[in-house]
Amino acid sequence: MKNRSVSFWLFLTPTLLALTLVVFFPFIYGFIFSFTDWNGLTASEFVGLANYLEAFQDGEFLDAIVFTIMFAVVSIILVNIIGLGLALLVTQKMKSSNLLRTVFFMPNLIGGLILGFIWQFIFVSGFDAMGSLLGIEALQGWLSTTGTGFWGLVILNTWQYAGYIMIIYIAYLESVPKELIEAAEIDGANGFQRFWKVKFPLVAPAFTISLFLTLSNAFKLYDQNLALTNGGPYNSTQMLAMEIYNTAFSDFDMAYAQSKAVIFFILVAAVALTQVYYNKKREVDL
């Protein structure tokens, strides 16, 4: 037992050390610097809560928060609905189910920047050509307005992550006891009733995991935002991660950017923990 304990900590120590050096120490130092006027080069002076008070009066930062929350809500709903739908499709008795699983998951393997440039070409060149050919003006000028830029980001994010979330739902759907499904069939339940009354309650833990993953991913999105719209037009599609990055590395106001990052962290942590709490409570009720 003692040897097992020693080997356990030997294997765990490198990971804990890396996590401490890469995550915990930078977070603590960043939190301390958020109370200063540090610009990344010169010595800093303590300014108290000045950076935080300025952040809550920064219109661009507040607009980025609103835009990110709107994007997160829509993306979370679409990614989970489509992911669950794909999972239900590929868990049917079909010869092509394994091939479909691979095809649906593949977009998640593409890097965010590459994916952003691919969809930028589709939205700009492809939609313009299709709009001219079909005479549909709504397809022309995509990504040139806040509304179309918003939906472009939603479409990109949904296309990339629905297949990833599908894998989680598949794992829970395939763990549903077949005896329960057969009993429901004998009782005369149709396909929808078998899903809603039998499968849906049993995959409740999958919703907790999937909602948490899609929530955290939607809030921290950066590379897709950079490649697809770069925050345009006029920073109206700029998400929180990009706004904080620009404050730090374009305006060179590191301490101010760090205070925004702390607010960002508190916002995401509060929403994520609340979501996990209510979903866990719902699992118990079911």
Report the C-alpha dihedral over residues 76, 79, 85, 91, rounded to 10 degrees. -110
Integer-rounded Cα radius of gyration of the chain: 23
Specify if 140 maps to a domain.
Answer: yes
Specify if 270 maps to a domain.
Answer: yes
Average pLDDT across the chain, whole number: 86
Three-state secondary-structure class, residue 46: strand
Specify if 26 maps to a domain.
Answer: no
Q: Would you state the pLDDT for residue 3?
A: 54
107 vs 131, higher pLDDT:
107
Q: What is the pLDDT of residues 169-224, one digit of tens each?
A: 998 888 888 888 878 888 777 877 788 878 888 888 888 888 888 888 888 889 88
Residue 203 DSSP class: T
Specify if 47 maps to a domain.
Answer: no
Q: Find tokens 């092509």 and name the residue.
A: 96
Q: Are 276 and 212 in contact (CB under 8 A)?
A: yes
Residue 234 has pLDDT above 50, yes or no: yes
Question: Cα(35)–Cα(229) distance, rounded to whole angstroms?
Answer: 32
Residue 4 has pLDDT above 70, yes or no: no
Residue 12 has pLDDT above 60, yes or no: yes
| Structural domain total, the chain | 1
Average pLDDT score over residue span 80-107: 88
Question: Cα(90)–Cα(68) distance, rounded to whole angstroms?
Answer: 32
First to last CA, the chain: 39
Q: Would you state the pLDDT for residue 55?
A: 93
Q: Are 118 and 223 in contact (CB under 8 A)?
A: no
Question: Cα(157)–Cα(169) distance, rounded to whole angstroms?
Answer: 18
Length of the chain: 286
Q: What is the pLDDT of residues 240-275, one digit of tens each?
A: 999 999 998 888 889 999 999 999 999 988 988 888
Specify if 14 maps to a domain.
Answer: no
Average pLDDT score over residue span 26-31: 88
Q: Would you state the pLDDT for residue 80?
A: 92
Q: Would you state the pLDDT for residue 134?
A: 78
CATH number for position 238: 1.10.3720.10
Specify if 31 maps to a domain.
Answer: no
Task: Annotate 70-119 with DSSP letters as a single string.
Answer: HHHHHHHHHHHHHHHHHHHHHTSS-TTHHHHHHHHHGGGGS-HHHHHHHH
Q: Would you state the pLDDT for residue 217?
A: 87
**Of 41-45, 120-124, 232-236, 250-254, where does mean pLDDT reach its minimum?**
41-45
Specify if 25 maps to a domain.
Answer: no
- Identity of the highest mean pLDDT range in 10-24, 110-124, 252-266: 252-266
Among residues 170, 171, 167, which one has the least CA distance to residue 109?
167
Specify if 65 maps to a domain.
Answer: yes
Q: Would you state the pLDDT for residue 177?
A: 82
- Domain range for 138 is 52-285
163 vs 140, higher pLDDT:
163
Contacts of 259 (CB under 8 A, 6+ apart): 34, 35, 51, 52, 54, 55
Q: Are 267 and 216 in contact (CB under 8 A)?
A: no
- Which pLDDT band holds residue 284 (cuts at 50, 70, 90)? very low
In a 10 Å sphere around its CB, with 0-12 CB exposed, 13-18 middle and 19+ buried, how is residue 168 labelled? Answer: buried
Q: Would you state the pLDDT for residue 143?
A: 84
Give the whole-number percent of the chain exceeding pLDDT 90: 31
